[in-house]
Amino acid sequence: MRAIGIILAGGNNNKMRELSQKRAIAAMPIAGSYRSIDFALSNMSNSHIQKVAVLTQYNARSLNEHLSSSKWWDFGRKQGGLYTFTPTITADNSFWYRGTADAMIQNLNFLKPSHEPYVVIASGDGVYKLDFNKVLEYHIAKRADITVVCTDVYGDDTTRFGCLKMNEDSRIEEFEEKPMVTRTNTVSTGIYVIRRRQLIELLEKCAQEDRYDFVKDILIRYKNLKRIYGYKINTYWSNISTVESYYKTNMDFLKPKVRDYFFNQYPGVQSKIDDLPPAKYNPGSDVRNSLVSSGCIINGQVENSVLFKKVFVGNNCVIKNSIILNDVYLGDNTHIENCIVESRDTIRANSYYCGEDGIKIVVEKNERYVL
C-alpha cells in the first residue's frame, strides 16, 4: 500500500483509574487474549501497510514487551517493518512527547526518508476493523488535504471525543475537541489520512510555534484553510479510554454478533500467541455466557464474565458480570460481581467484592504461596 502507518500509543489517562498505573492504555487486555493495540496493528497489516511506527511513552514496558516481535502481525520483513519509538534525549531535545503532534515532530526522521506518499495515523485505544485502502481511495477521490475517519456514537458520552459536523459533501465545517455540550453525535475516531509531505510541512510549522497537539493545532486551526473531509464508518467501533467504556467493550464480546464480526469474518485480528493449555473445567464448575481464555482452571460458577489467560477460580466461587485480567488466583468461596480484577492479583478465600454503583476495580496484592 502507498502509505506508512503511525500509531499513537503514548497517552497517560486518569480516567482508567488504577488500571493504567502499570500499563499504557494501548496495552489494555481485550476479549480474552488480545490487547487494544492489536486492532490498529492488524488493520494496518491487513491493509498491506508495510511500515508502521508505534509512538509509546507512558508506562510503556508492557506494551514494548507485547511488540517485542513483529512477526505476529506479519511485519517481519526486509523493507519496512514495525518500529517502536519512545522519547529519546538528543543534543537538541530533552523533552518527553508533549502532545500528539510533538511525538511526530520528534520522529520526523522516520517520516522524511520514507518514500510512500501517504500517512495513516491511528490511536492505539480503538477497537474496530477498517480497510485503510478504502479510506485512502476516498481521500484521493475527494482531493482532500486531511481525511478524518468518523462514526456516530449513541448513548455513550460524546463529550470525551472530538465532535464534528460535516456538510453534504462530507467536508468538515465544525470540529470541537471534547466539548462541554455537543449538538452532534458524529465523533472523530482518531484515525487520519494525510499526505506525507503535507504532514511534514504542518508539523514543522507547529514545531516553530511551540504547538504540540495534532487535533487542536492542526485539525481545528486549519479546518477552514485546508480541505478536511470526514469518512464515516458504520461498523463496530469502540474506544476504551474510560473504565466504563473498557468494561462495556469487553462485555460486547459476549455477544455472538460482535465475536463473529471480529474473529470469524475475514480479515481477522492477530495478536501475540502464548503457548497455554486449553481451559480446564473441573467437576462442579458452572460457566454460562462467558469468554474463558486458555490456561484457565475453573472450579466455581462463572456467569456473563470475561476471564483472561491463566485465571484460577477456586471452589464455590461466584463470578458475575466481571472482567478478570491475566494470571489472577481467586481463593475458595469468593464472590465477585460487577468488578474488574487487576492482573496477577491473589484474592484470598472468602472475599466478597461487588460494584454497587458502577464498576469496582479490585487490586489485591496478597502472597499467593506461603512457603
pLDDT tens-digit series, residues 134-175 = 999 999 999 999 999 999 998 767 888 889 999 999 999 888
pLDDT digits 0-9 by tens, 319-364 = 999 999 999 999 999 999 999 999 999 999 999 999 988 899 999 8
Please state the φ and ψ torsions of residue 199, each to the nearest 5 degrees: -65, -45
Q: How confident is the model at residue 104 (pLDDT cuts 50, 70, 90)?
A: very high
Taking residues 2-15, report their average pLDDT: 87
* CATH superfamily label, 3-264: Spore Coat Polysaccharide Biosynthesis Protein SpsA; Chain A (3.90.550.10)
Distance (Å, whole) CA 371 – CA 191: 51
**Predicted pLDDT of residue 156:** 66
Taking residues 304-320, report their average pLDDT: 95
* CATH superfamily label, 280-362: Hexapeptide repeat proteins (2.160.10.10)
**Of the ranges 11-15, 87-91, 131-135, the best mean pLDDT one:** 131-135
List the end-to-end C-alpha distance of the chain, in Å, as a whole number. Answer: 57
3-state secondary structure of 77: coil
Distance (Å, whole) CA 247 – CA 47: 29
The residues, ordered by sequence, that sit 6+ positions from 264 with a Cβ below 8 Å of its Cβ are: none
**Predicted pLDDT of residue 92:** 81
pLDDT: which is higher, 90 or 11: 90
3-state secondary structure of 306: strand
CA angle (199 as vertex; 190, 226 as ends), nearest 5 = 80
Instruction: Locate CATH 2.160.10.10 in the chain.
Output: 280-362
Residue reference for cell 484553510: 225
Report the candidate in 263, 285, 13, 250 with the shortest Cα–Cα distance to residue 123.
13
> Does position 54 have pLDDT exceeding 90, yes or no?
yes
Q: Are 36 and 26 in contact (CB under 8 A)?
A: yes
Residue reference for cell 480497510: 131
Written as nine digits, the cell of 31 is 476479549
Of 50-64, 152-166, 179-193, which gets the smallest average pLDDT?
152-166
> Does position 371 have pLDDT exceeding 60, yes or no?
no
> Which DSSP state fits 234?
-
Q: How confident is the model at residue 17 (pLDDT cuts 50, 70, 90)?
A: confident
CA angle (11 as vertex; 178, 6 as ends), nearest 5 = 95
The pLDDT mean for the chain works out to 92
- The DSSP bridge partners found for residue 291 are 306
3-state secondary structure of 182: coil
**Predicted pLDDT of residue 340:** 95
The residues, ordered by sequence, that sit 6+ positions from 39 with a Cβ below 8 Å of its Cβ are: 30, 126, 127, 128, 129, 269
**Predicted pLDDT of residue 88:** 86
Q: How many CB atoms lie within 10 A of CB 100?
A: 23
Residue reference for cell 487490586: 363
Instruction: Locate CATH 3.90.550.10 in the chain.
Output: 3-264
